[in-house]
Structure 1
Amino acid sequence: MYALKEIETQGLQFIELASSDATSKAVICLNQGGRLSDFVFEKIQILADFHPSAYQDNYASSVLFPFANRIKGGAYTFNDSKYILDCNEKGKSNALHGLVYNKAFVCIHKTLTSDYASITLQYKDEGKNKGFPFKFNIELTYTLNSCGIALSVKIKNEDKRPFPFTLGWHPYFNSKDLDYSSIDFNSNSKYLFDHQQIISGTTSLGLEMPFQLKGVKLDDGYPLQTNEVEFLTPEYGFKFTSTSKENFLHLFTPDQPKVIAIEPMTGAANNFNNKIGLQTLEPNDVYKVEWDIAIDTLNTKVKSNKLINKLCNS
């Protein structure tokens, strides 16, 4: 039987989901936007440990809503009305990573069986933010099972007016050695960015897949042709899938070694302005997306050895 434990430490509330043999554990922080703060699968550390870096600086595993990535200058126009969001990105004067990453969620449902553990968290917004004055309800459902972990996000418009939105997720993944890791996705192009890290155009992708991560630094966005991204490390591999009709990806390698952010999004950066992937949710309507991470720890050693040989001989 899968297990659930509630933890309180340093003024924060956490819920830990664990497999029956305790080799797989997912820890969710309720106070920090309902984020997945730790994830171990079959004794392998999947999510990166950013200590002592603070969450307000790295946004690790934050859920991004009502916009993903950045809004230039925090300003946008929707249905002929102008709005200005608070600019929380230091040095670039952009609104960054949405409005729920620092909100307190409450647990409204728990399920424990012999096959999986699942919790649903909820946050209700009363529409008092001047930059996004719309009432909405957001629910996050995390499910841990023998295949990996899934995050389902459900948004309901509880306002009397429609509102624009994009969803994203900001997890950082650990690799034993990024030089012997690779990522594989289907895209024809990548976005160009200006000095504010705002999309200024596109260029041909020019990457051979799977893309070897040896010695690269990334802070790039891509429109995807499919809903799948694969990541391979010397210890494990996973397939990241999305139920979104349109899919976008942002990759970021921070200064911390052996770490990469693989960020799925339903729209591109600054799409409140450039409209790339932007959606509108009507009053009382519901939007749902699920991101699933299926992990392989049994067969990847052979694949990784082949990758290591290829990299060492290149």
Structure 2
Amino acid sequence: MYKLKNIKKDGLDYIKLQNPNETTEASICLSQGARLSEFIFNNMEIVSSIRPETYKDNYASSILFPFANRIKDGKYSFEGIDYHLLCNEEDKNNALHGLVYDKPFTIINKSLTSKSASVTLLYVSEGQLIGFPFKYHFEVTYTLNPMGINLSINIKNNGESSFPFTLGWHPYFTSSHLSVSTMEFTSSKKFLQDGRNIVSGSEDSKEVMPYQIKGKKLDDAFNLQNNTIKFLTPQYHLKIECLSEANYLQLYTPSNPNIIAIEPMTGVSNSFNNKIGLQILNVNDSYKLDWIISVET
């Protein structure tokens, strides 16, 4: 039987999902936006928090909503009204990584069987957030299974007006040797960025697959022409399937060696203004998305 444990560490609340022999497990931080703080598959670390940096610095595995990446100057207009988000990327004066990454989530459902463990977590916005005064329910379900782990997002507009959104996820994946690791994805467009990491245009993607990571300092965004991203390392092969209509990919290499952020997104930076990937959630409507992560060792 799969297992679920409640853990408190450094004043934070966590849920740990484990397979029967405890060789595969997922740690989810309820106190920090329901992020996947660690994912171990067959005793191998796959998703990691970056150490010794703090979550405040690296946003490791944060779920990005209502906007992925950045909003320039924190400013946007929607249906004739101007809004101003807090700029938490102070040096570049951008609003960064959405508004749920630091919110507390509560458990509303869980299921343990001989084949999987799942937990559904909820955050409710009552329209009190600066720059985004809209009401919504945000649910995320994590399911640990023999193939890997799945994230299912369900967002419902519970307010009196529509709102704009994009959605993303910011996990850091580890590799024993990142320089000999590669990626595979299908893209026709690479997005250009200015000095503030705001999309300023695009060009035809000339990337040859498999995509070589060696020697690259990455902070690049691409469109995806299908829903599959592969990360091939010496120790494991990983596949992310993004079950949404429009998909984008952000790749980022931090200063820490042998770690890469592979970020599936439904839009790009400054989406509230450039409209790339932007969607509208109408009153009483719901939006659902699944990210399916499978691992072979």
Q: Confirm or deny a common fold (TM above 0.5).
A: yes
Give matches, 1:62-81, under 5 Å.
62-81=62-81
User: Hey, what's the Cα distance between the residues in 2 that align with 1:294 and 1:26?
Assistant: 13
Partner of residue 173, structure 1: 173
Give the aligned partner of residue 293 of structure 1. Answer: 293
Q: Which whole-Å CA distance do the structure 1 matches of 2:208 and 2:129 have between them?
A: 44
Q: Report the structure, 1 or 2, having the larger helix content.
A: 1
Question: 1:22-41 counterparts in 2 under 5 A?
Answer: 22-41=22-41
1:301 corresponding residue in structure 2: none
The alpha carbon displacement at 1:35 in A equals 0.3
The residue number in structure 1 matching 2:117 is: 117
2:207 and 2:251 map into 1 onto residues whose CA distance is: 14
Question: Which stretch of the first structure deviates more once superposed, 200-209 or 140-149?
Answer: 200-209
In the TM superposition, what is the alpha-carbon distance from 1:214 to its structure 2 partner? 1.2
Larger Rg: 1
Q: CA deviation at 1:276?
A: 0.6
Residue equivalent to 2:275: 275
Q: 2 CA distance for matches of 1:197 and 1:28?
A: 29
SS in 2 for 1:139: strand
- Residue in 1 that maps onto 2:82: 82
Task: Give the AA of the match of 1:274.
Answer: N
How large is the Cα RMSD of the aligned pairs? 0.7
Q: For residues 161-185 of structure 1, give each alpha carbon's deviation from its aligned partner in whole angstroms, at most 9, with x where no partner exists.
A: 0000001000000000011100110
Could you tell me how far apart the structure 1 residues matched to 2:27 and 2:5 are? Answer: 9
Which runs of no fewer than 5 residues in structure 2 stay unpaired?
none
- Structure with a larger share of its residues in strand: 2
Q: Partner residue of 1:163?
A: 163
TM-score, normalised relative to structure 1: 0.94
Distance 1:112 1:130 in 2: 38
Residue aligning to 1:307: none
Tell me if structure 1 keeps the 8 A contact 2:72–2:94: yes
TM-score, normalised by the number of residues in structure 2: 0.99
Post-superposition CA distance 1:122-166 (Å, at most 9, x none): 000110123000001000100000000000111000111000000
What letter matches 1:272 in structure 2? F
- Aligned mates of 1:37, 1:48 — CA distance in 2: 6
Aligned-partner Cα distance in 1 for 2:96–2:88: 6
CA distance in structure 2 between the aligned counterparts of 1:48 and 1:232, rounded to whole angstroms? 17
Query: Which residue of the partner structure matches residue 143 of structure 1?
Result: 143
Instruction: Give the distance between the partners of 2:6 and 2:49, measured in 1 at CA.
Output: 20
Cα deviation for residue 49 of structure 1 reads 3.8
Matched with 1:5 is 5
Give every structure 1 segment of 4 or more consecutive aligned residues whose post-TM-superposition deviation is greater than 4 Å: none
2: CA distance between counterparts of 1:195 and 1:39? 33
Q: 2:250 corresponds to which residue?
A: 250
Task: Provide the secondary structure at the position in 1 that maps to 2:110.
Answer: strand
**Alignment-derived partner of residue 264 in structure 1:** 264
> Alignment length, in residue pairs?
297
Q: Residue 82 and residue 49 in structure 1: after superposition, are their counterparts in 2 closer, same or farther (change >3 A)?
A: closer
Separation of aligned partners in 1, 2:141 and 2:108: 10
Q: Which amino acid aligns with 2:39?
A: F
Contact 2:49 2:60 in 1 (8 A): no
Identity of aligned residues (%): 54
Aligned to 2:54: 54
Amino acid aligned to 2:25: K
Q: In structure 1, list runs of 5 or more residues that go unmatched.
A: 298-314
CA distance in 2, matches of 1:36, 1:25: 11
